[in-house]
Amino acid sequence: MRILIVLFFLAGTACYAQDDLLNELEQSNPTEPEYVTSTFKGSRLVNGQTVKTKNKRELEFIFSHRFGAINQGLYELFGLDQAYVRLGLEYGITDRLGVGLGRNSVDKTMDSYLRYKALKQVVGGMPVTITAYGNFAIKTSPKKEDAGFDITLEDRLSYTGQLLIARKFTSALSLQLMPTVVHKNLADQTIENNTQFALGAGGRVKVSKSISLNVEYYHRFGVPDNNPYYDALGFAVDIETGGHDFQLIITNTRGLTERAFITETAGDFFDGDIHLGFNVTRTFQFGRKKK
């Protein structure tokens, strides 16, 4: 009888110790956070960027195209006779950090950028995803002999910094804010400042498994009254086709870099200065695909 009592006591002590150990392990190894994914399907909202970054060792090729303004009439085939393009690449160094470069036919601009996802939206936790974006561009037009003054390489440079702040509210609705600063080393001081501030806002509404509607608008601050440029506005139908992402676009800008479409949009959307266009992206995977 005494042996049974001792065995019962030892078994109870062992069970208590096991439960205590499991509690300690759960506290030291908390459940992994549930990150929100697919806030946006692509890296471009319309003209500008989204919080999306490429996965490690992914290479994205993006072809962006804008036609001329449709209010130019039949002689220009409502803008279809004109073409403005940007060819670009973006590579995922890590799942959070990407580097890109491209060439835009508007002003023959070469640009490069870094994109870093600083914070991720978490279910029941962090309410937003935040990506930092920095762009460096060189405007190679006009040629030095055509500039009319002694233009230097430094004069041709511009820089853009953005915070992309997005939240996926439901499986069908995502919204994004884009506080932005653009600095141009050379600017016409009679109509604009070297450093300009803007706030972008946009979003995505998913209407089917593979189609969404996107909108994007950039409002500039501190613009002189005689500034000839307009705020950039754009709409897109985003179509996911498996290997490609395809966007059909209408916008009032022909520019395809931040300096061009945020600070130098020459058309008034509501006066018919609307450009048809599209973005096509294709992603290539190097190495084993992440599960």
Residue 143's CATH number: 2.40.160.40
The whole-angstrom separation of Cα 199 and Cα 24 is 48
The per-residue pLDDT for range 128-149, each reduced to its tens digit, is 999 999 999 999 888 777 777 7
Q: Is residue 5 part of a domain?
A: no
Q: What is the mean pLDDT of residues 112-123?
A: 96
The whole-angstrom separation of Cα 102 and Cα 281 is 13
Bridge partners of 83, per DSSP, are 67
The per-residue pLDDT for range 243-262, each reduced to its tens digit, is 778 999 999 999 999 999 99
The whole-angstrom separation of Cα 44 and Cα 259 is 16
The model's confidence at residue 217, banded by pLDDT at 50, 70 and 90, is very high
**pTM score, two decimals?**
0.84
Average pLDDT over the chain reads: 86
Distances (CA, A) of 197 to 2, 161, 174, 252, 258: 84, 10, 24, 19, 12
What's the structural domain count of the chain?
1
Cα within 13 Å of Cα(263), Cβ side = 24
Q: Is residue 161 part of a domain?
A: yes
The per-residue pLDDT for range 59-111, each reduced to its tens digit, is 999 999 999 888 888 888 877 888 899 999 999 999 999 999 999 988 899 99
The whole-angstrom separation of Cα 61 and Cα 194 is 31
**285 vs 262, which has greater pLDDT?**
262
Contacts of 249 (CB under 8 A, 6+ apart): 46, 47, 66, 234, 235, 236, 275, 276, 277, 278, 279
Q: Is residue 92 part of a domain?
A: yes
Q: Is residue 21 part of a domain?
A: no
Q: Is residue 24 part of a domain?
A: no
The confidence score (pLDDT) of residue 2 equals: 42
Find the domain containing 155 and state its range. Answer: 35-285
Contact 129, 119 (CB under 8 A): yes
Q: Is residue 18 part of a domain?
A: no
The confidence score (pLDDT) of residue 289 equals: 58
Q: Is residue 74 part of a domain?
A: yes
Distances (CA, A) of 168 to 10, 204, 248, 272: 53, 9, 22, 33
Which pair of tokens denotes residue 246? 């395809």
Q: Is residue 9 part of a domain?
A: no
Contact 196, 218 (CB under 8 A): no
